[in-house]
Structure 1
Amino acid sequence: MDNTLQLSSVEAISTQLPEQSLFADIFSQHSGADYEAAINQAKELVITFLNRQKKPFSGISPGQLNLLFEQVDLDVPLTSYQELFHEVDQLYVQHATAFHLPHYIAHLNCPVVIPALAAEVLVSAINSSQDTYDQSAGGTLMERRLIDWTAQQIGYAPEADGIFTAGGSQSNLMGLLLARDHFALNRYGHNIKQDGNPLAAHRFRIFVSEKSHFSNQKNAALMGLGEQSIVSVATDSRFRMSMDALEAAIETEIALGNIPIAIVGTAGTTDFGNIDPLSDIADLAAQYGLWMHVDAAYGCGLLLTDTYRYLLNGIERSHSVTIDYHKSFFQPISGSAFIVRDKTLLQIIKHHADYLNPEDQDYEEYPAQINKSITQSTRRFDALKLWFTLRLMGRNKLGEYIETLISRCKEAAEIVRFDPDLELLSDSDISILLFRYAPEGLPEEQRCAVNQQIKKQLFHSGEVLLASTKVNGKFYLKFTIFNPLLTTADLHDIFHKIKVTGQQHGQQSN
């Protein structure tokens, strides 16, 4: 056969393979123009969202919105990006909750900083996976550097380490899992990773504040310890873990023949924004030989401010910490981390696979973050968003935002204190406020119902989005102040709307 003819045939076939009509939608060196056009249209819709949204929610009900979805046939594709963005605008963007507006004051959802949004473009397009060095290269080193920086802010020594995670619940799971496995290995020489829970595991006990995050119970169940392993400890008058109650609970469990293994301190409770006495918890953890984990998913923002950093004193004595950058660092979802004081503790969860992170690989030369992960192999390069933010804005600027939130919360508390129609439940260490509409003429037995109606009506009007909770059986409205753009005038307007709505329902009740 003629080699020249054979080569020509192969070349001819090769030139026919990348048919642009077939592969035009794939992000590649051939699709730069198409990518630019799509991204520009997405950008325009974002700008429309910013300019159009005047209140935090449209007020649409699930039933109304579902009627629009029933008209969508997913088996029939649309013909253009124009059609696609129009559809998504109707189904999603027009009714998306606008966290950036100051009248959204409900949950732990922060407005996000622009540098992080710019980073998202690179994160999604380049699509690095953070599990091994050969899938991320500089991404691996950026993540490791940011983990080291965060550990330094916590007050850990250089021996600390950690990993970015999908969220606070996952980070809390890692804290409890390491606490359990470390205890079993040191107390019994039992390797839970290989052999499962020891026979004594049903007696393991983990102590948490009664106001701690519900992920503790869920994580205990996932670990095979059951929710019964979580011991809820009473709180003081400001809803922070009581040290007397904690020590009594530990002694009670020991007397019952159970085995304390860990204490979880909360730095920023979801309902009150208050911080457990971390130094005192560290003392008791050391006294009883227990693992100390700090859930700082919310309170981690205090690491950014020199003014309020003292509120976290004692966190540096913990074994592990949960950090949520997508809360108090103003990052887009998701961006969280699990940090451990001693990097050797992460060896407990390492597992090798020959095709991914073989045991004989030199991990000093080619680091692999997957060696520190428990639930994620393929993992987004979320660290780039924080890198953009810190390098362009810096720690101090973010710290100013946190200080603004705390100041605004104090203002809100003062407004409630001096308003005879409102009742304050507790001060906050950070930026959460619990109160209720409670004018003198409104009977106590009607106050819960009226406050429930206030929240519901404002939600369906879309004008103000509030959160709520129950404390000692009473229904309270909740401000989660997470927007540095919230002004004193905004606060007065929100309280005015609450009171007007309350007056309407209070009159109906009477």
Structure 2
Amino acid sequence: MACLARTLRRGSGDLSEELSGGVGGAAALEPLVAAVLSALADGAALRGGPLPAGLPQDIAAAVAEEFLAGEGGGGAGGAAACPGAVLSRFARLLAAGSADPAHPGCAAHLHCPPLAVAVAADLAVSALNPSQDSWDQAPAATALETLLIGELAGMAGYDPGRAAGVLTSGGTESNLMGLMLARDRVLGAVTGRRVEMSGVAGGPRPRVLASAAAHFSVQRAAAVLGLGEDAVIPVPVDRNLRMREGELAALLDSCRRRGQVPVAVVATAGTTDTGAVDPLRACAELAAAHGAWLHVDAAYGGGALLSDRLAPLLDGIGAADSLSLDWHKLGWQPAAAGVFLVRESETYASLARRAVYLNPADDEEAGYPSLLGLSLRTTRRADAFKIAVTLRTLGREGLGRLVDACHDLARAGARTVQEHPRLELHAEPVLTAFLFRYVGGGAAHEPAALDHLNASLRRRLLREGRAVVGRTELPGEGPGRVRLKLTLLNPHTTPAEVARLLHAVVAAGRAEEDLL
């Protein structure tokens, strides 16, 4: 790493500083974009693998050296520098120091390699910089997002004429919105008035039921909404981390017996670790029977809607009151590309807002629409544009082929694990991810030793810049729960490359065993 910053200082010629919009914006952007593309290629070659080799402090030192070096006296307080040169240096730095999800050895997280056409579409949005908080800032983008939301609602099984939704920053924001609307709808009906936290505090205790494998943002949302993290009741899961239907029914009954209000059931369609899909139709029936809102977190598994093969996994999703999708996972979009949908547009009522400088009533009466009351945010990028371009370029069928390719990769990787004597598969893949662990050879290791071995071999792979493999823990208590994870989101990766990645895990495990 000592020579990394010096190598990165190869700059390009001077480039003029211009704005990106207007008639001249494209001409100003063209040489700068060319400089970025060249620097990205140089940086990837310099990195030479899925991520830069070295310890975190090595990477941080290289970044600091380059950041502080500057041009012409340099640093934040130095003289102005040629924008093309600075852009090239920093783009090369970023590429050389990134974990590249397009590399077959980068398979840890729900972190997709975006489609080139989606990235190009995102450039258009960045250049024009429309904001979705008022029509007069984004005339075409406002209309496009409305059309896209209707199409996605129909894909999810909603009636597009009755549904509503908005683009979000991702599943965390979408889950917050789902629980906010659930709180206002259910507790508002209980108290007979608009929900305010002072009223909630004196009323029946609200509860949110979510699987033990639900995303951590559910607890965070409950805290933000004033319900408290302890309002979230974890529902036990099976071996594949799928919510147990009988346990959910029992917990809902228990809430009623104790005088508590089940505000929402949060079902997960595609858990982060195993891709498990909760029994959505049963969840919908149980939530309805208890007067609870059903929110489905399909940030990962929503991609199955694109695949004829996998779509049946989401049977019942159209019965959800609200739904979260993330197209920056199984949709191959640059982040952010989250989507929040509600089945009935009137359930959005508590989010409606009037700001006279953004959506005055007389403008709306005159036919100027506003998306302000659909989002928690005010200033908001036109993220619908890249999704719309991708859908019209590839169609559902083309995107479905990408989903199926990644599913095939996961199944092939699971077979490789099953066939290797030093690896142990946790469960068959549901979507495109699976859990496994290195168990070593010869004498069996104690559970705590296995945990240490798997954690340390993963860090060895990171340190050597050879692979980015996920690490998680199974629900429960005590040692023996650490597992490694492959999340396969690159449809152009081959089964042979996945096998090589798993063999690299074995090699790192052997090296760590030698140190025990």
When Rg is computed on C-alpha atoms for both structures, the one with the higher figure is 1
Percent of pairs with identical residues: 32
The corresponding residue for 1:498 is 505
1:210 match: 212
Aligned mates of 1:253, 1:40 — CA distance in 2:
60
Aligned to 2:157: 155
Flag the 1:36–1:324 CA change in 2: closer, same or farther, 3 A: same
Kept after mapping to 2: 8 A contact 1:60/1:95: no
Asked if the contact 1:24/1:31 (under 8 Å) is kept, the reply is: no
Q: Structure 2 unaligned runs (5+)?
A: 1-15, 69-74
Q: What are the residue-to-residue correspondences of 1:465-476 with 2, within 5 Å?
A: 465-471=468-474, 472=476, 473=479, 474-476=481-483
Could you tell me whether the CA contact under 8 Å between 2:284 and 2:294 is conserved in 1? Answer: yes
Q: Which moved more, 1:75-84 or 1:221-230?
A: 75-84
Give 1:19's aligned residue: none
Cα separation, 2, equivalents of 1:355 and 1:82: 38
Partner of 1:448: 451
Judging changes above 3 Å, is the alpha-carbon distance between structure 1 residues 364 and 317 closer, same or farther for their aligned structure 2 residues?
farther
Q: Give the letter aligned to residue 431 of structure 2.
A: I
Q: What is the correspondence of 1:80-479 to structure 2 with a 5 Å cutoff?
A: 80-89=82-91, 91-157=93-159, 158-192=161-195, 197-200=199-202, 203-362=205-364, 365-374=367-376, 376-441=377-442, 442-445=444-447, 446-471=449-474, 472=476, 473=479, 474-479=481-486
Q: Is the 8 A contact 1:165 1:337 kept in 2?
A: yes
Residue number in structure 2 paired with 1:5:
none
2:30 to 32, 36, 42: 36
- What is residue 493 of structure 2 aligned with on the other side? 486
Which SS does the other structure have where 1:426 is aligned? coil
Query: Counterparts in 2 of 1:5-24, with a 5 A limit?
Result: 24=17
SS of the aligned residue for 1:279 comes to helix
3-state SS of paired residue (2:302): helix
Deviation at 1:315, TM superposition (A): 0.3
- Secondary structure, aligned partner of 2:381: coil
The offset of 1:78, in angstroms, is: 4.4
Give the ranges of 4+ consecutive aligned residues of structure 1 lying more than 6 Å apart after TM superposition.
Answer: none
Give me the whole-angstrom Cα distance separating, in 2, the residues matched to 1:369 and 1:108.
29
Correspondent of 2:60 among 52, 57, 66: 66
- Name the stretch that deviates more: 483-492 or 441-450: 441-450
Checking the alignment, whether the CA contact within 8 Å between 1:292 and 1:319 is kept in structure 2 is: yes
Contact in 2 for aligned 1:209/1:266 (Cα 8 Å): yes
Instruction: Give 1:422 shift.
Output: 0.9
* 8 Å Cα contact 1:154/1:316 also seen in 2: yes
Contact 1:203/1:257 (CA < 8 Å) preserved in 2?
A: yes
Deviation string 1:263-305 (CA, Å, 9 cap, x unpaired) is 0000000011110010111111121111000000000110101
Equivalents in 2 of 1:341, 1:364: separation in Å? 27
1:174–1:196 Cα change, 3 Å: farther
Q: Does the C-alpha gap of structure 1 residues 26 and 464 become closer, same or farther in structure 2, counting only changes over 3 Å?
A: same
CA shift in 2, pair 1:237/1:136, >3 Å? same
161 and 103 in structure 1: CA distance in 2 versus 1, 3 angstrom threshold: same
One-letter amino acid matched to 1:334 = A
Counterpart residue number, 1:6: none
Alpha-carbon deviation of 1:439? 3.1
Change in Cα spacing, 1:484 to 1:24, as seen in structure 2 (3 Å) is closer
User: Could you tell me whether the CA contact under 8 Å between 2:204 and 2:261 is conserved in 1?
Assistant: no
Q: CA deviation at 1:52?
A: 5.1
**Residues 50 and 105, structure 2, Cα contact 8 Å, conserved in 1:** yes
The letter for the 2-side match of 1:450 is: L
TM-score by length of 2: 0.90
Q: Does the aligned pair in 2 maintain the 1:426–1:433 contact within 8 Å?
A: yes
Give the direction of change, closer, same or farther, for the CA distance of 1:33–1:491 in structure 2 (3 Å limit).
Answer: closer
Corresponding letter in the other structure for 1:187 = V
Q: Which amino acid aligns with 1:423?
A: E
Deviations along 1:226-270, one digit per CA (max 9) or x if unpaired, are: 101100010123210001111111122222222111100000000
Unaligned 5+ segments in structure 1 are: 1-22
Which deviates the most, 288-297 or 247-256? Answer: 247-256
Match in the other structure for 1:55: 49
Distance apart, 1:48 and its partner CA: 3.2
- How many residue pairs end up in the alignment? 485
| TM-score, scaled relative to structure 1 | 0.91
Taking structure 1 as reference, are residues 68 and 360 closer, same or farther at Cα in structure 2, changes over 3 Å only?
Answer: same
CA deviations on 1:463-497 (whole Å, 9 max, x unpaired) are: 11001111244211111111111211112211111
Q: CA deviation at 1:338?
A: 0.4
Structure 1, residues 425-478: CA drift from partner, whole Å, max 9, x if none?
112210111111113524124211111111010011111100111124421111
Mapped to 2, the partners of 1:412 and 1:361 lie a distance apart of 56
Does the CA-based 8 Å contact 1:65-1:91 persist in structure 2? no
Which whole-Å CA distance do the structure 2 matches of 1:437 and 1:67 have between them? 33
Q: Aligned in 2, Cα 1:45/1:185: closer, same or farther, shift over 3 Å?
A: same
Seen in structure 2, the aligned counterparts of structure 1 residues 86 and 136 have a Cα distance that, compared at 3 Å, is: closer
Amino acid paired to 1:407: D
Counterpart of 2:8?
A: none
Kindly provide the amino acid, as one letter, of the partner of residue 391 in structure 2.
L
Corresponding residue SS for 2:208: strand
Whole-Å Cα distance in 1 between the matches of residues 204 and 130 of structure 2?
41
Task: Determine the C-alpha separation between the residues in 1 that align with 2:270 and 2:391.
Answer: 23
Deviation at residue 503 of structure 1 after TM alignment: 1.3
Contact kept in structure 2, 1:103 and 1:494, CA below 8 Å? yes
Deviation of 1:385 (Å)? 0.4
Structure 1 residue identity aligned to 2:437: R
In structure 2, the CA distance between the partners of 1:221 and 1:367, relative to structure 1 (3 Å rule), is same
Question: Deviations 1:73-129 (Å, cap 9, x if unpaired)?
Answer: 212244213430343146422111111111101000011111111111210111111
Q: 1:199/1:453 Cα in 2 relative to 1: closer, same or farther (>3 Å)?
A: closer
In the alignment, the residues of structure 1 paired with residue 352 and residue 273 of structure 2 have an alpha-carbon distance, to the nearest angstrom, of: 35
What whole-Å deviation, never above 9, does each CA across 1:14-63 have from its counterpart, x for those lacking one? xxxxxxxxx95334555654332222212222343455553110123332
Please give the alpha-carbon distance, in whole angstroms, between the structure 2 residues aligned to 1:381 and 1:206. Answer: 32
Superposed CA RMSD: 1.9
Q: Render the CA deviation track for 1:337-386: whole Å, top value 9, x for unaligned.
A: 10000011112210111111123442682211111112x11100111101
Report the 3-state secondary structure (helix = DSSP H, G, I; strand = E; otherwise coil) of the residue aligned with 1:268.
coil
The equivalent of 1:17 in structure 2 is: none
